[in-house]
Structure 1
Amino acid sequence: MEVLLSSDKISDCVISLADEIISKTARGDKIAVIGVRSRGEILAKRLADALTHKFKTKIPCGTLDITLYRDDINNPQSESQPLVRTTEIGFDIDDKIIILVDDVLYTGRSTRAAMDALIDLGRPKAIRLAVLVERAGREFPIQADFASLKIDLPADKTVQVNFVESDGKDRVIVI
């Protein structure tokens, strides 16, 4: 096990992501943050709080469940049925710049599913992708607009993101 990011580094990464988003957002643009369940949801809440603090105005934050949009949902090789949870977006996404947040970007499949789900909910002005870790190995032509850490790992390695809210501690490790 290799630790890529410690708790302190993750906090720094959230602030850096917020700063980068602010630097690339025009004055007057309406933005909202939406996290992909489950770890993207936690990161999105932290990012929305940082943006709210920096913009000095409340940045809307929501959660997107992509289970039914995944391309592996009907995979006969799967031993269990996926757990479908709720999408919680308490605001209109039309004409807003949506900062779509996930913990790790690897193949691009989850991001593709998330964009499909978002477009079914409305017509955002733009969708920008923010991730904690951008890993090489894309299977779809998708890239992060904002990424804290970019890495290239062998296919047999996994990036695991832990957050105190779900796992008891903040860290990013390779297993």
Structure 2
Amino acid sequence: MSMSIDNTAVSCSKRQGFFYAVGKNSGEDLLINRSKMAGEEHLEEKEILDEKAIGRALTRLAHEIIERNEGVDAVVLVGIKTRGIYLANRLAERIEAIEKKKVAVGELDITLYRDDLKQKTDDPKLIDSILPVSIESKSVILIDDVLYTGRTIRAAMDALMDIGRPQRIQLAVLIDRGHRELPIRPDYIGKNVPTSKEEEIAVQLNEIDGTDTVMIRTKS
């Protein structure tokens, strides 16, 4: 393969995912990243929470939930599908270990309540939602992995109000990355992570991903 770089004719050979360009006139070796030649984007990853850090954050959140609600007799944890469900179950286990009491855990699928759904219905159904107890007059704590614009939480609150009338709704998130578009603020936060809109937060949980980690990804 031959090409031209800075008006210099070169020949290219491929080695281990890169093109090595050898200038015929200068004799200099030029290393060219193949993906950049193809116009591909790279994601630089940095771990911000490992398995132990996630565990410590959830333990702290469990204590905060117990303290703020003066126990858990009237508390219902509701995980937002998908990863919020697994976080809610982990919080319930920690609360039970501390209080020696079981706390009810529900699952909420808010897909049909999202305001960005192209074919939104006037009568959305909670198809994959499970609430084992009534939420009437209860303290419902919504659980999600990442809080971003707030639109997911708004949809979750709309869904809950179609089911019943809790005494209060609180919000617990593992990561708050900012950039709110709605006036929504979490009551319990595992970690505040200031981000740009170009960055991504990736939460992986052992139950579905085979590992516990939170990564911040930046396009380069």
TM-score by length of 1: 0.92
**2:6 equivalent in structure 1:** none
Q: Which amino acid aligns with 2:141?
A: I
Q: Superposition pairs for residues 1-175 of structure 1, below 5 Å?
A: 1-27=45-71, 29-74=73-118, 86-175=128-217
Helix, strand or coil for the counterpart of 2:195? coil
Q: Which amino acid aligns with 1:2?
A: K
RMSD (CA atoms): 1.4
Unaligned runs of 5+ in 1: 76-83
Whole-Å Cα distance in 2 between the matches of residues 57 and 170 of structure 1?
26
**Structure 1 residue 28 displacement after superposition:** 7.1
Whole-Å Cα distance in 2 between the matches of residues 113 and 102 of structure 1?
12
Between Structure 1 and Structure 2, how many residues are aligned?
Answer: 167
Whole-Å Cα distance in 1 between the matches of residues 128 and 64 of structure 2?
30
Whole-Å Cα distance in 1 between the matches of residues 173 and 130 of structure 2?
20
Bigger relative contact order, structure 1 or 2 (CA pairs below 8 A, ≥6 apart)? 1
**2:21 equivalent in structure 1:** none
Unaligned runs of 5+ in 2: 1-44, 120-125
Point out the more displaced range, 84-93 or 66-75: 84-93
Deviations 1:22-57 (A, max 9, x none): 121125750010000001011011011111221211
What's the % identity of the aligned pairs? Answer: 41
Whole-Å Cα distance in 2 between the matches of residues 29 and 44 of structure 1?
16
Q: 1:150 to 1:118 in 2, by over 3 A?
A: same
Please say which structure displays the higher CA radius of gyration.
Answer: 2
Conservation of the 8 A alpha-carbon contact between 2:176 and 2:191: yes
Conservation of the 8 A alpha-carbon contact between 2:66 and 2:72: no
Helix, strand or coil for the counterpart of 2:64? helix
More helix by share: 1
More strand by share: 2
Whole-Å Cα distance in 2 between the matches of residues 142 and 28 of structure 1?
24
